[in-house]
A and B are shown apart, each in its own frame.
Chain A
Amino acid sequence: MRGTVLKLIIEVLIYAALVLVYLILVLHFLVGWLTQLSTKDPTVYAFVAILLMIAQAVGLERLASSLVQVGRPGRR
């Protein structure tokens, strides 16, 4: 039980570190462009926004899954 909790904490910490780097790097560069787009072309902004959300959701889900796989014993 203690091992499982420890593994979970390590996974969450790795996840948090990776997400922090992602937020600083990617969103920092996107903010200006998205702000301009939201005022100049709301229709394009709407589709870019939903695509970004879907891409991030799939990406983070894959990242979390791969972290769980790394944590499992007996992984090839």
Chain B
Amino acid sequence: MFFPISGVHLDPIYLVVIGFVIGILGGFFGVGGSFLTAPALFAAGLPMNYVVGTDLAHIVGKSIVAARTHRVLGNIDLRLAGIMVIGTIAGSETGVQVIETLKKGAQVDLVVGIVSIIVFTGIALFCAWESWTVLRLTRRTNRPPDSTQNRKQDVTAIDGFAKAIQRFTLPPRVSLPHSGIESISFWAILFVSFIGGIFSGFLGGGAGYIRMPAMVYLLGIPTHIAVGTDLFEIIISASYGTIRHAMNGNVDIVIALVMQTGAALGARIGAYLTQYFTGPLLRLAFAPLPLLGAIVIAQRLLGHHHS
């Protein structure tokens, strides 16, 4: 099928299948899945500027479907999402500006790539170690890590860290009853979302693989609510990104709409599957995802080096 906006021929079934697979991952882990979609679209022949913008447009649609399902399951903290949107958009703009500044110097791709590989590998190893530790401890004490009926009592191996951040007293402080947090500094939430936003601006996509674990480990949000809230927040930040990219002629909305037909089904399936996983199991399953992102970046860097 010919897509005249970007001027490329692409197989629509290929697009639907990519959408479906990324949809399952997105609904289940609360991530945009750009680290898989971008290389898949680029490999099919879509120019890189269209890859970034079109992927963002498709993320909006997929996240709406997954977030609606998570809302039915009670996994979205609207107050938390509202605050995080501010930090993400500000961080995303900062990330874009930092990239523009770095572009003036040499080796920007290499610097950003190596930093990303280190961060992603660190997150993957940490998530794997932490969730495995919790699963082993709870198996020893013979008590389930968290039941699906009481998700607000999610357990992590480094609970003390989130509690220390919750004790950070800088006003204003907000209460997040839906996430089971009595009081937390507004600035702590803003800081976490700002860091996620910087990575989003740096690398494109939603950067859910940074924000989701950051919500769990730094803010103490239960895993299921972190997944649902992250998806809700992605709708707004990715919509903003889509509009900006579309204005610059980087979005082929027809490709995004075709992809979204598969993603809509996949995202629903992924979101429903979270019901059958406890918090630590979700985090253990999530661990290979940032590692996959690191591999994709390493492959791109090696490709650049060889060419």
Contacts and interface: CB of A to CB of B under 8 A. Distances in A.
Nearest to B244: A46
A22 to B, nearest CB: 8
B249 interface: yes
B62 A38 contact: no
Interface in A26-55: 27, 30-32, 34-35, 38, 42-43, 45-50, 52-54
Contacts of B256: 49, 53
B69 to A, nearest CB: 8
B60 A50 contact: yes
B5 interface: yes
Contacts, number: 95
B261 A45 contact: no
26 contacts: A19-B261, A23-B258, A27-B257, A31-B254, A34-B5, A42-B249, A45-B246, A45-B253, A46-B243, A48-B253, A49-B246, A50-B239, A50-B243, A53-B61, A53-B257, A56-B260, A57-B60, A57-B62, A57-B65, A57-B260, A57-B264, A60-B65, A60-B260, A60-B265, A61-B65, A64-B268
Interface of A: 12, 15, 19, 22-23, 27, 30-32, 34-35, 38, 42-43, 45-50, 52-54, 56-58, 60-61, 64
B261 A31 contact: no
Nearest to A18: B261
B303 interface: no
B158 to A, nearest CB: 36
> Majority SS of interface residues in chain B?
helix
B60 A53 contact: yes
B112 interface: no
Given A23-B258, A31-B4, A61-B68, A53 B253 contact: yes
A53 B254 CA distance: 9
B264 A38 contact: no
Nearest to A26: B257
A49 B61 contact: no
Given A46-B243, A50-B242, A27 B258 contact: yes
B106 interface: no
Size category of the B interface is 20 to 34
A54 B247 contact: no
A30 B255 CA distance: 12
Contact of A38 (B69, B249, B258): B249
A31 B248 CA distance: 19
Nearest to A60: B264
A72 B184 CA distance: 43
A30 B258 CA distance: 13
Contacts of A60: 65, 260-261, 264-265
Nearest to A35: B4
Contacts of B61: 53-54, 56-57
Contacts of A61: 64-65, 68-69, 264, 268
B56 to A, nearest CB: 10
Given A27-B257, A53-B260, A60-B260, A42 B62 contact: no
B89 interface: no
Contacts of B124: none
A50 B57 CA distance: 7
Contacts of A22: 261
A38 B256 CA distance: 14
Nearest to B4: A35
